[in-house]
């Protein structure tokens, strides 16, 4: 690491790492909203799954505009635009909760996701170019580790501040009057105001820090000399990018399905039985943790299981980042993706608490997929090509809009077991990309 890197890049790199934390928080709250809106807004499971669709549709629509914006105005202004959109979306939750119109919530989520499209297009590429090209995959996985830390908070926030202490089962609802049910729905809808209001305030503070900080525009002169290129020409020229866009579509689709429906998987596969630490810490668990969760509803317990799965996701990021210092990043992803396929298959075949354990372990395996696919898909390109390639890979996040509703429809036919078909197929394609599709094959176009 050069002296210039230590003095010029460390502060911008640290600030950009905070962005990974912020968008991880927004993503991990979606699972809580999907479950919460089913009662608060009287939605069916597949309708609530449109939360993910609206969110990831923002990525799809705004990713290329974000890339073009960055080409013209640079990384810093792209990040500031993303932060302001993110904060605006969080603030929109306040009036949306008052009027209780589902489309208003979806618009707020779309606005947040539009901001995240700017942030991810800028930040994921920025950390790969802030230093030696040989360590690009390591840097992006290290930065994404902060994303892994933040996503643990989503289910915790959902359980503590969004989910009610009262579980509204069919039996409970049958004993309530229509007026009582309506009043309960109003209370549940209003509970989202606090968390999203606080998040909007934090995002605005981070925007102020970015505005005050000098951000080096790496490769700006070379980019201007290089000239522009079209989307289709870029995809034809770089086959590994085209296949990488599909891999990212599949990866995010699988992740959004598992995250968005984790509470539903837990409630369907093993509502009353829970994962617990094994000896020698079992006695400690029974005397401390168990007391803390006494009185929780089954839905809240499922939310805490989701938090545990996200801890595994974070650990997977740190372990994967370490392994990448010992072997090629692609080889690490091969092992992770093949293991993910095996675990989803095991969950499908087993059911019960074993299935929940397998799904939780999949979180560990999927932890490094997004940053590694991104780094592999955008390698061996010029600066101008990289910004457009970055926007295409981020646009592929729309897989998170397509796959959860598909999984929800499959669950209507065969329960949540059938919904596992979606991540199974998706992870199989990611494994293919890690083994063969990643190879740069540049053609003249």
> What per-residue confidence (pLDDT) applies to 228?
62
| 254 sits in which H/E element | helix 239-260
d(CA 14, CA 20) in angstroms, rounded, equals 10
Distances, alpha carbon 421 to alpha carbons 53, 266, 373, 406, 425, in Å: 18, 17, 22, 10, 6
> What per-residue confidence (pLDDT) applies to 357?
93
- Evaluated on CA atoms 414, 303, 160, 33, the torsion sign reads negative
> What per-residue confidence (pLDDT) applies to 6?
47
d(CA 322, CA 303) in angstroms, rounded, equals 29
> What per-residue confidence (pLDDT) applies to 258?
93
Nearest to 33 by CA among 23, 18, 47, 19: 47
- Structure token pair of residue 288: 């401390």
E strand map for 220-368 = none
Q: Which residues contact 224 (CB under 8 A, 6 or more apart)?
A: none
**Residue found under tokens 């359980």:** 159
Given a contact cutoff of 8 angstroms between Cβ atoms, the answer to whether 112 and 89 are in contact is: yes
- Structure token pair of residue 212: 């005050």
Given a contact cutoff of 8 angstroms between Cβ atoms, the answer to whether 124 and 371 are in contact is: yes
Q: List pLDDT tens digits, range 271-322.
A: 778 776 443 444 444 455 555 555 667 776 776 787 788 889 889 988 998 9
> What per-residue confidence (pLDDT) applies to 443?
59
Supply the Cα-derived Rg of the chain in whole angstroms. 22
The HSE-up count of residue 106 (CA atoms within 13 Å, CB side) is: 15
> What per-residue confidence (pLDDT) applies to 8?
61
d(CA 440, CA 377) in angstroms, rounded, equals 8
Select from 3.30.360.10, 3.40.50.1000, 1.10.10.10, 1.20.1250.20 the CATH code of 3-437.
Answer: 1.20.1250.20
DSSP codes joined into one string, 154-181: HHHHIIIIIS-SS---HHHHHTS-HHHH
d(CA 384, CA 386) in angstroms, rounded, equals 5
> What per-residue confidence (pLDDT) applies to 278?
42
d(CA 241, CA 433) in angstroms, rounded, equals 11
Task: Say what the pTM is.
Answer: 0.75
d(CA 247, CA 241) in angstroms, rounded, equals 9
Show me where the domains of the chain are located: 3-437
> What per-residue confidence (pLDDT) applies to 296?
66
Q: Please state, as a whole number, how many other Cβ atoms lie within 10 Å of the Cβ of residue 202.
A: 16
* pLDDT tens over the chain, length 445 residues: 444 444 467 788 888 888 888 888 888 787 778 777 888 888 887 788 788 788 878 888 998 898 888 888 888 899 999 999 999 999 999 999 999 999 999 999 999 999 999 998 888 888 877 777 777 778 888 887 787 777 777 767 766 767 555 666 667 777 788 888 888 888 888 888 888 999 999 999 999 999 998 887 766 665 555 556 778 888 888 999 999 999 999 999 999 899 888 888 988 888 778 776 443 444 444 455 555 555 667 776 776 787 788 889 889 988 998 999 899 889 999 999 999 999 999 999 998 889 999 999 999 999 999 989 998 998 888 777 888 898 999 899 889 888 988 998 898 888 899 999 999 999 999 999 999 988 876 655 5
**Residue found under tokens 């927004």:** 26
| 226 sits in which H/E element | helix 220-226
Nearest to 330 by CA among 381, 394, 378, 376: 376
d(CA 348, CA 279) in angstroms, rounded, equals 28
> What per-residue confidence (pLDDT) applies to 285?
45
Q: Characterize 220-229 residue by residue with b for buried, 16 or more Cβ atoms within 10 angstroms of its Cβ, and e for exposed.
A: eeebeeeeeb
């Amino acid at each position: 690491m050069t002296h210039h890197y230590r003095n010029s890049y460390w502060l911008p790199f640290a600030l950009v790492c905070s962005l990974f934390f912020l968008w991880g928080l927004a993503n991990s709250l979606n699972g809580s909203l999907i479950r919460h809106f089913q009662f608060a807004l009287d939605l069916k499971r597949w309708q609530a799954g449109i939360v993910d669709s609206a969110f990831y549709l923002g990525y799809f629509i705004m990713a290329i505009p974000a890339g073009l914006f960055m080409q013209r105005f640079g990384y810093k202004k792209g990040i500031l635009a993303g932060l302001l959109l993110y904060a605006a979306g969080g603030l929109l939750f306040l009036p949306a909760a008052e009027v209780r119109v589902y489309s208003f919530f979806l618009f707020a989520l779309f606005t947040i996701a539009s901001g995240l499209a700017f942030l991810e297009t800028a930040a994921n590429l920025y950390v790969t170019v802030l230093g030696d090209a040989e360590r690009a995959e390591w840097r992006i996985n290290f930065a994404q580790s902060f994303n892994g830390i933040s996503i643990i908070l989503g289910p915790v926030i959902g359980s503590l501040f969004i989910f009610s202490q009262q579980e509204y089962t069919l039996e409970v609802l049958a004993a309530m009057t229509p007026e009582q049910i309506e009043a309960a729905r109003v209370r549940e809808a209003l509970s989202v105001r606090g968390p999203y209001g606080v998040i909007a305030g934090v995002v605005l503070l981070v925007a102020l820090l970015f505005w005050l900080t000098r951000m080096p525009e790496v490769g700006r002169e070379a980019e201007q000399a290089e000239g522009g290129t079209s989307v289709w020409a870029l995809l034809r020229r770089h086959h590994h990018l085209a296949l990488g866009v599909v891999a990212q579509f599949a990866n995010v689709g699988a992740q959004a399905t598992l995250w968005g429906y984790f509470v539903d998987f837990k409630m369907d596969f093993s509502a009353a039985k829970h994962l617990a630490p094994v000896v020698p810490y079992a006695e400690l668990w029974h005397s401390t943790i168990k007391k803390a969760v006494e009185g929780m509803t089954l839905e809240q317990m499922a939310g805490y299981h989701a938090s545990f799965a996200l801890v595994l996701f974070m650990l997977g990021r740190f372990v994967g980042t370490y392994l990448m210092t010992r072997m090629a990043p692609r080889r690490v992803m091969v092992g992770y993706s093949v293991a993910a396929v095996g675990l989803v298959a095991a969950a499908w075949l087993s059911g019960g608490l074993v299935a929940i354990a397998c799904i939780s372990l999949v979180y560990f395996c999927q932890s490094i997929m997004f940053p590694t696919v991104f780094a592999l898909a955008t390698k061996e390109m010029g600066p101008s090509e990289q910004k457009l390639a970055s926007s295409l890979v981020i646009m592929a996040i729309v897989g998170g809009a397509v796959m959860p509703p598909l999984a929800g429809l499959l669950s209507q036919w065969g329960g949540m077991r059938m919904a596992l078909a979606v991540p199974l197929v998706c992870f199989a394609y990611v494994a293919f990309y890690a083994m063969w599709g990643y190879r740069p094959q540049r053609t003249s176009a």
